[in-house]
A and B are shown apart, each in its own frame.
Chain A
Amino acid sequence: MTNRILFIIMLVAGLTAPLYAYPVFVMDLLCFALFACAFNLLLGYAGLLSFGHAAFFGGAAYITGYVTKEWGFGPLLGILAGAAFAMVIGTIFGFLAIRRQGIYFAMVTLALAQIIYFLALQMPFTGGENGLQGIPRGQLFGLIDLNNSLSMYYFVFAIFLIGFGIIYRTINSPFGEVLQAIRENESRALSLGYDVDHFKLLAFVISATLAGLAGATKAIIFQFAALTSAHWQTSGEVILMTLVGGLGTIFGPVLGAITVGALSHELSAFGSWVQVILGTIFVVCVMVFRRGIVGEIQRLASRKQG
């Protein structure tokens, strides 16, 4: 019931956002919100900490940029190509990473993602440290001109809703239940006859694909695939967003992405101090605020009831 109310609030806020906020900024937040939701599916529901999600987010951006710029793909097809790329490398990385558990899983994903980072730095089409520039926004279905910022905004919001819907359905399905069982007690899930590795891999691939979807969309919005999107610092940022909003909650990552995104935006004048502040928030979250915003609200609400 509360989920339904929250969803309606999110829907209304999203639909009316261009009235009171700068559309490009809101689009950026939406991409990060989708990215964080995808990440949360893996950490919050399957208990797997990937430190390499920037590879999917940033890698997909480069592929989308390349196919729309060089091959003349439309924006939708371009974004799908980016997400498909994320799906392919997500399958490979997932297959390798689930061979190790816990902290090793985090280190393996981080190291694998660094391969994508170096490829993005060194391959001939990527523009090295400058990133891939001049990506066309193009026409959606050959009809709607995405250079119009309102059309672009509602296109991005639709993509966000689709991605969010997929994650919501995944979590509230028998598959999602099994994931949570694995998170709580892996050996017990195994002894109940579930093919644990199979479930983990599938969760990893879904998460990677949707992270790619977010990154690909971002490339179209900004007409630019940035090298920083593929850097491990971006993987760290998405962890922070999820943590701030509430690990393992449906709406937490959305709220976390908005909070952290707005904060970085407000603080951008302070240069490197932004990093210091984000780092401090990280420490505070880990030490005393592990439930995140939504998690704390849920706790207070249930205390009031009970």
Chain B
Amino acid sequence: MSMQVIMAQALLGLNVGVFYAMLSLGLAVIFGLLNIINFAHGAMYMLGAFIALIGYSLLEQWFGISLQIGFWASLLVAPLIVGILGVLIERLFLKRLYDLDHIYGLLLTFGITLILQGLFANYFNVSGTPYPGQPESLSGVVNLGFMYFPTYRLFAIVFSLVVCFATWWVIEHTKLGSRLRAGVENPDLTQAFGLNVPRMVTLTFAFGAGLAGLAGVLAAPIYSVSPLMGADLIIVVFAVVVIGGMGSIMGAILSGLALGLVEGLTKVFYPPAASTVIFFLMVLVLLFRPAGLFGKEK
């Protein structure tokens, strides 16, 4: 087996890994403050991709608006819309569930997932619609010295990494982040110090949702846009989260990247196991380090 094939698959794996990282980062941020797992995260990823698709090619046909939202604008618009949906979900529903067992948050977001998936499945082909809006400047391939790699995929990797690490930096090193961490540590005391914790909670949920939407836009030109594109992905991301442990932001990012890489390499060495390797790694982690690689033992 040539080194080139391995490197190519590793890079493709890293490409998947950045999506895992972005999604598990969003889940971890939400879990930190709200203590719920957002099952709808995969559906929000799908929603992001569909907003890009609709904005690019269907606005006129559907709404009679002669406007085209290009790829670059979608990177801003889609997370914003998904974020607003996040605000609505948190304000209308989740807010009323905080005093109950945390599983109700999971069940609620599961219901929302079914609604979103069903809605889009009514109007779009389940096998996927290609996104036509990939910008000219990102088409073609780049020469990495040892191999050629699609420019767009390289862009998606770099862009996602920047977003992930910027999020980490904001949370760990800015005043805004320190308030957020205070809210995670002790919401009552933080509230007593005059910070508006409920608003922080809403915005955090919106931010996590927005990250999922952003990942969806980035994924649109690579995979075709389909109502079920987030359905199986979210379960892999759950496994990533169990492996990483939700204790740390950096942990979520690193385990997402690493597991994408592992999955990519499994495709080279033993293709049939590629779709399950992450689940088997989760089993190993549960056996030997139940709290997760970056989690804290309770």
Provide the bound-state CA to CA distance between A49 and B36, in Å. Answer: 14
Instruction: Answer whether A122 and B272 are a contact pair too, CB < 8 Å, given A114-B279, A272-B122.
Output: yes
Pair A114/B235 contact, Cβ less than 8 Å: yes
Contact with B along A246-277 (1 / 0, CB 8 A): 00000000000000000000000001111111
Instruction: Answer whether A282 and B110 are a contact pair too, CB < 8 Å, given A103-B36, A104-B242.
Output: yes
Pair A272/B118 contact, Cβ less than 8 Å: yes
The yes or no answer to A19 lying at the interface (CB within 8 A) is no
Pair A99/B290 contact, Cβ less than 8 Å: yes
Collect the chain B residues with CB atoms within 8 Å of residue A286's CB.
93, 97, 104, 107-108, 111
**CB < 8 Å neighbour of B121 from A112, A275, A280:** A275
Pair B111/A282 contact, Cβ less than 8 Å: yes
* Interface-side segment among B63-71, B186-194, B280-288: B280-288
Pair A274/B283 contact, Cβ less than 8 Å: no
Taking CB as reference atom, which chain A residue is nearest B227? A272
Provide the bound-state CA to CA distance between A34 and B76, in Å. Answer: 48
**CB < 8 Å neighbour of B37 from A106, A277, A278:** A106
Pair A49/B115 contact, Cβ less than 8 Å: no
Contact with A along B102-144 (1 / 0, CB 8 A): 1110111011111111110110000000000000000000000
**What is the total of A-B residue contacts with beta carbons within 8 Å?**
125
Provide the bound-state CA to CA distance between A230 and B111, in Å. Answer: 19
**CB < 8 Å neighbour of A282 from B31, B114, B241:** B114
Pair B113/A279 contact, Cβ less than 8 Å: yes
Collect the chain A residues with CB atoms within 8 Å of residue B116's CB.
279
**CB < 8 Å neighbour of B106 from A47, A49, A96:** A49
The yes or no answer to A169 lying at the interface (CB within 8 A) is no
Closest Cβ of chain A: how far from B65's Cβ, in Å?
Answer: 25
Question: Interface residue tally of chain A, by bracket?
Answer: 35 or more
Pair A273/B242 contact, Cβ less than 8 Å: no
Pair B96/A108 contact, Cβ less than 8 Å: no
Provide the bound-state CA to CA distance between A287 and B109, in Å. Answer: 11
Collect the chain B residues with CB atoms within 8 Å of residue A112's CB.
279, 282-283
Closest Cβ of chain A: how far from B298's Cβ, in Å?
Answer: 9
The yes or no answer to B174 lying at the interface (CB within 8 A) is no
Closest Cβ of chain B: how far from A54's Cβ, in Å?
Answer: 12
Pair B287/A273 contact, Cβ less than 8 Å: no
Closest Cβ of chain B: how far from A234's Cβ, in Å?
Answer: 13
**CB < 8 Å neighbour of A102 from B102, B110, B115, B283:** B102
Provide the bound-state CA to CA distance between A290 and B108, in Å. Answer: 11
B positions within 8 Å CB-CB of A: 31, 35-37, 93, 96-97, 100-104, 106-108, 110-119, 121-122, 232, 235-236, 238-239, 241-242, 272, 275-276, 279-280, 282-283, 286-287, 290
Given contacts A118-B275, A273-B122, A286-B93, could you give 8 more A-B pairs where the C-beta distance is less than 8 Å? A49-B107, A107-B242, A108-B282, A114-B232, A115-B279, A122-B275, A276-B119, A279-B112
A positions within 8 Å CB-CB of B: 47, 49, 51, 96, 99-100, 102-104, 106-108, 110-112, 114-115, 118-119, 122, 232, 236, 239, 243, 271-283, 285-287, 290
What would be 13 A-B contacts, judged by CB atoms less than 8 Å apart? A96-B287, A100-B242, A106-B103, A106-B106, A111-B242, A112-B279, A122-B272, A271-B121, A276-B118, A279-B113, A279-B117, A286-B97, A286-B108
